[in-house]
Amino acid sequence: MTNFETIIGPAYLVAAVLFILGLKRLSSPATARSGNRLAGIAMTIALAVTLLNPDILGAITGARLIPIGTIVIGTLIGGGIGVYFARTVKMTAMPQMVALFNGMGGATAALVSIAEFTRAIGETGDAGGAGQVVSIVLGTIIGAISFSGSIVAFLKLQELITDRPLRFGGQSWFNAALLLGSLAVGGIVLVGGSVPALWAVLGIALLLGVTGVLPIGGADMPVVISILNSCTGVAAALTGFVVHNQILVVAGALVGASGTLLTLLMSKAMNRPISNVLFSGFGALQTGGNGKGAGVVRIVKEASAEDVGVALAFARNVVIVPGYGLAVAQAQHTVRELADELEKHGVSVKYAIHPVAGRMPGHMNVLLAEANVPYDQLAEMEQINGEFDNTDVALVIGANDVVNPAARSDTSSPIYGMPILDVDHSRNVVVLKRSMNPGFAGIDNELFYRDNTRMLFGDAKASLTKLVAAVKTV
Amino acid sequence: MSQEVLLGAYVFILAIFVGFEVIARVPSILHTPLMSATNAIHGIVLLGAMLIAGAAKTPFMQAIAFVAVILGAANVFGGFVVTDRMLEMFKKKAAPPVEKPE
């Protein structure tokens, strides 16, 4: 039988490089899809050459049906299930789908670790060096936490169990005890080479995944999934140590690292510090029960100019809502520049002019005309209000009260009944504002706290200049 | 620590640095697709499942390997397909994904 080591090694190296290039392309909207496909090619190469592994090849040439059947039928069943759900899941249910797939990966890592340990102990009575056994124990723990945690996250997002935080007294201590317990039993595995002890480690870690995620509310689940995703990456890398396979180590570590960074970026974008997400059980006991109402801290989401630039450039249509802040900052020329840049990207741009935008009626139209904004792009309130439902991004520049939904709904609000621009109907709202100070009428604006609203703080002109630069680089 | 484990540790640590660097400037509209793509990539544990399937001798081990292969394959194939579906929306002129309230 030929030794295929000379093919397997270099092919894994090629796959590793393709994974990295794929990830790189995935971090820009224009190239993201090709990046995903590149990673898919890398995966195909890695899986294909694995069939040349001596054990597997021996099974194929020796026509040993069980290993062949395990691999072929298992891949067909698993792949079929995966592709079916991936194709049919609704776009809104995407986060829980990712959670489910992630859990499956975690379970795989744990099972591989346990199987390899059991085999080695059974065949030779020795599982290899300490590094090997530590990898096995940690791979089992992390994979199991990732599995059961992801399942809980899935159930919460799918609303099969309540998405409210479920808490009990001493929960954090209980979880800490579980973690220490799993490590302690892992120590027994290391010293005694005991297979039952490793199953016990699995059981404890599975429980920890459940009790770790239950206390976290549904709104924070995307961050949790991202954490568990990077956990599975690390578990996969540890599995690489267990089965002596470098491509597993590389791909797993890539996911572990990028997943961790992604978690930090996400929690920042959602304005939720990680510690808040994971341990919010400490302080939130009092307010935990009722979803809304007094005492709930309202959170605004801050966006960077780069993020907003990308969102604008990839929108079909953008409605700009200029307000007094734009006039104060003398930013009408810059906003025109931004609109021109967006049109170069094929985005349709309109301006929604509230009757009282600016300092006096019609003020804004004048300012924009001065900046040579084509007249047909200016839309009056009555014209444009019906169109917000089909607007991808509403860009609110230095306007506040004229976009405050309270005027429509809150009878106690001083501006109740004032006609407003219904920007809250559009898919995404970006608000350029100097600070969180309330507007002219001195009242809070709930638009700023909505889920689909992002804030870009700063002087309107400075922010717009940054946006122009950001759109140019897309 | 054996040479092999040590070498693996080098690879692991260098790959972590690469992983951080390579996605450092990802815009927030790509957060969900990127999470989904990395999710597909760690499906590479399927490869480990294939290896233990090849080495399994007892029925019990074969059963574990079978379950592991199924789960790993679902992770890989489902992960890549679902990511591709998300990214389809970034085609020019298509509706961008609504930033999910989540």
Indicate whether B38 pLDDT > 80: yes
What pLDDT does residue A398 have? 86
DSSP secondary structure string, A221-243? HHHHHHHHHHHHHHHHHHHHHHT
Contact B64 A115 (CB under 8 A): yes
Which chain B residue has the Cα nearest residue A222?
B102
Tell how strand A393-397 and strand A378-380 pair up. Answer: unpaired
Residue ranges of domains in chain A, CATH in brackets? 93-292 (no CATH), 305-473 (3.40.50.1220)
Whole-angstrom Cα distance, residue A409 to residue A147?
44
Which chain B residue has the Cα nearest residue A96?
B102
Q: Kindly report the nearest CA distance between residue B3 and chain A, in angstroms.
A: 11
Chain A and chain B share a number of CB contacts under 8 A equal to: 418
Give A314's contacts in chain B (Cβ within 8 Å): 29, 90, 92, 96
- CA-CA-CA-CA torsion sign (A90, A95, A98, A100): negative
What pLDDT does residue A102 have? 96
Contact A253 B16 (CB under 8 A): yes
Contact B44 A131 (CB under 8 A): no
Q: Kindly report the nearest CA distance between residue A363 and chain B, in angstroms.
A: 33
Give B73's contacts in chain A (Cβ within 8 Å): 74-79, 82
A451 is known as an active-site residue? no
Q: Kindly report the nearest CA distance between residue A424 and chain B, in angstroms.
A: 13
Indicate whether A149 pLDDT > 90: yes
Q: Which two tokens stand for residue A163?
A: 């998405």
Q: Kindly report the nearest CA distance between residue A361 and chain B, in angstroms.
A: 34
Indicate whether B93 pLDDT > 70: no
User: Which residue is catalytic, options A163, A401, A422, A424?
Assistant: A401
Give the model's confidence band at A297: pLDDT under 50 very low, under 70 low, under 90 confident, else very high: low
Give B50's contacts in chain A (Cβ within 8 Å): 47, 50-51, 53, 56, 71
What pLDDT does residue A190 have? 93
Q: Which two tokens stand for residue A278?
A: 């994971």
Burial of A400 (0-12, 13-18, 19+ CB in 10 A): buried
pLDDT digits (tens, 9 = 90+) for A175-195: 999 999 999 999 999 998 899
Q: Which of A40-49, A243-252, A270-279, A349-358 has the lowest mean pLDDT?
A: A270-279
What pLDDT does residue A293 have? 37
Contact A39 B45 (CB under 8 A): no
Ordered by start, the domain boundaries in chain B are 27-88
Tell how strand A428-433 and strand A348-353 pair up. Answer: unpaired
Tell how strand A453-457 and strand A378-380 pair up. Answer: unpaired
Q: Buried (b) or exposed (e) across A206-230, using 16+ Cβ within 10 A?
A: bbbbebbbbbbbbbbbbbbbbbbbb
pLDDT digits (tens, 9 = 90+) for A423-472: 999 999 999 988 776 655 556 788 888 888 999 998 889 999 999 999 99
Q: Which of B3, B62, B71, B85 to mutate to test the interface with A (most CBs of A within 10 A)?
A: B71
Give A16's contacts in chain B (Cβ within 8 Å): 15
Residue range A257-279: mean pLDDT, rounded: 77
Going from the C-alpha of A14 to that of each of A20, A22, A49, A251, B22, the distances in angstroms are: 10, 12, 11, 12, 17
Burial of B95 (0-12, 13-18, 19+ CB in 10 A): middle
* Residue A57, phi then psi, degrees to nearest 5: -65, -40
The fraction of chain A above a pLDDT of 90, given in percent, is: 52
Give A27's contacts in chain B (Cβ within 8 Å): 22-27, 30, 34
* AA identity, residue A302: E
Mean pLDDT estimate for chain B: 84
Give A97's contacts in chain B (Cβ within 8 Å): 78, 82
What pLDDT does residue A382 have? 81
Which chain A residue has the Cα nearest residue B24?
A261
Give me the interface pTM, i.e. the ipTM: 0.89
Contact A248 B54 (CB under 8 A): no
What pLDDT does residue A394 have? 94
Contact A262 B35 (CB under 8 A): yes
